[in-house]
Copies of this chain bind each other. A is one copy, B any other.
Amino acid sequence: MIREKPVVSDIAELYRHNGQTVTLRGWVYHLRSSGKVRFLVLRDGTGLAQAVLVKGNLPEEDFQEFERLTLESSVALTGLVKAEPRAPGGYELEATGLTPIHIAQDYPISPKEHGVAFLMDRRHLWLRSPRQQAILRVRDEVCRACRDFFHDRGFVLVDTPILTPTACEGTTSLFETDYLDRGKAYLSQSGQLYLEAAAMALGRVYCFGPTFRAEKSKTRRHLTEFWMVEAEAAFYTLEDVMELAESLVRTVVLRVLEHQEARLHLLERDIAPLAAVAEPFPRLSYAQALEHLKEHGKEMAWGDDLGGDEETVISQLFPRPVLVHRYPQEAKAFYMEPDPEDPRLALCVDMLAPEGYGEIVGGSQRIADLDTLLARIREHHLPEEPLEWYLDLRRYGSVPHGGFGMGIERLVAWICGLHHVRETIPFPRLLDRIYP
């Protein structure tokens, strides 16, 4: 029998080939027999498609091959594409050929419940599940939306270094390595200081890369390796920083709703709390936040930073992300500009996601004045010499400036409605996990 070679198609592209014969290549997702008919649901990473194998419609040896198939075996399937509203994806294949590529061993992940440790040990296989694929595609959309957002506003990508010579804020939560023959280096926790230098060159800049915290905290919000997008702009005040951060979160969430709604449905995500980002985000001063906490039985001393519990209380008071601004200086990092109206306060802002997802953005206006910055560095007992280059930015045409960082995994966790950030990154690194 001479067979013409049919076109190879992605499952997601089947709609282009209605009435044509195509070849699909992928993995067995589901198998079922009913009399002389065999059903095979195939996945190829772009979607799921059901093939119907009717004895006599394909060579007998191909039909027999069906019996050898196991879950996750790889196959090439040829057949006629037919619209079928009841089928996943809306199209079905009337199989005319089946070629197994590799028969899988007994696949360890079944549709039944598995423990998280079991699945995490098999993360390289777990990624094949529809839920995990949906999360990764949402993550992809979030990352591209962030980059497009900054590009559209004239921000230039500036990749800041991961290996850094100094431990600006103490070494306890830093990963350390030997830098060839030049002493210790540390894995970056933020590109901010470098972005500030770049902002003085290019005006508006952003970075987007992995950051690292060797924190011994085992919570559902922490990873030791996570991705952060950070922006910095010359002449930006705290007000500008808040507007930019709000606009970024709104843009990203609305874009996911626009392009990935089907994936959110698959994740059984209630999209109402996401759609709420279209309206302006509430803004609270730190002092107002303390009052809210007190009202809800969480009294806190003035001067303390909000912890995870406090963030949860505040974020649950509002149907959309909330901006908490002007924390006490002592609760925050050394580089934040003092509030001219109350120098005990820093011109800073945290954005808390709704539904208890915690802080997703942290930003501030930075100190522009050399002497003020030097005083803060000394108050914090930080070494001056490795920060000389950073001080230079206040010696040569210092300007008001500011920026923020947004953690991608927490944002994706909130958007997808996931309990734990570990599912938002392909290969999570946790306190007790670095495999696979």
Stretch of A110-118, A265-273, A311-319, A421-429 with 4 or more beta carbons under 8 angstroms from chain B: A421-429
Q: Are A74 and B398 in contact (CB under 8 A)?
A: yes
- B-chain residues with CB within 8 Å of residue A28 when the two chains form the complex: 397
Q: Are B180 and A177 in contact (CB under 8 A)?
A: no
- B-chain residues with CB within 8 Å of residue A390 when the two chains form the complex: 124, 436
- B-chain residues with CB within 8 Å of residue A101 when the two chains form the complex: 397-400
Q: Are A151 and B162 in contact (CB under 8 A)?
A: no
In the complex, A308 Cα to B216 Cα: how many Å? Answer: 44
- B-chain residues with CB within 8 Å of residue A175 when the two chains form the complex: 163, 177-179, 185
**Counting CB contacts under 8 A, is A168 at the interface?**
no
Q: Which residue of B lies closest to A74 (CB)?
A: B397
Closest Cβ–Cβ distance, residue A144 to chain B (whole Å) = 7
**Counting CB contacts under 8 A, is A176 at the interface?**
yes
**Counting CB contacts under 8 A, is A435 at the interface?**
yes
Known: A45-B234, A154-B10, A426-B198. A105 touches B396 (CB 8 A): yes
Q: CB within 8 Å of B: which of A289-336? A: none
Q: Are A179 and B46 in contact (CB under 8 A)?
A: no
Q: Are B178 and A157 in contact (CB under 8 A)?
A: no
Q: Are B102 and A368 in contact (CB under 8 A)?
A: yes
- B-chain residues with CB within 8 Å of residue A434 when the two chains form the complex: 163-165, 179, 182, 185
A-to-B contact residues, CB < 8 Å: 10, 12, 25-28, 44-46, 72-74, 101-102, 104-105, 107, 122-125, 127-128, 132-133, 136-137, 139-140, 143-144, 147, 151, 154, 156-165, 175-180, 182, 185, 187, 194, 197-204, 209-210, 212, 214, 216, 224-225, 227, 234-235, 368, 386, 389-390, 392-393, 395-400, 425-427, 429, 431-432, 434-436
A sample of 25 cross-chain residue pairs with beta-carbon separation below 8 angstroms, ordered by A number, consists of A10-B203, A25-B234, A26-B234, A27-B200, A45-B156, A45-B234, A72-B396, A74-B397, A101-B400, A102-B398, A122-B389, A127-B198, A133-B201, A137-B156, A139-B157, A140-B156, A140-B158, A144-B147, A144-B157, A177-B187, A180-B432, A185-B434, A198-B426, A210-B210, A390-B436
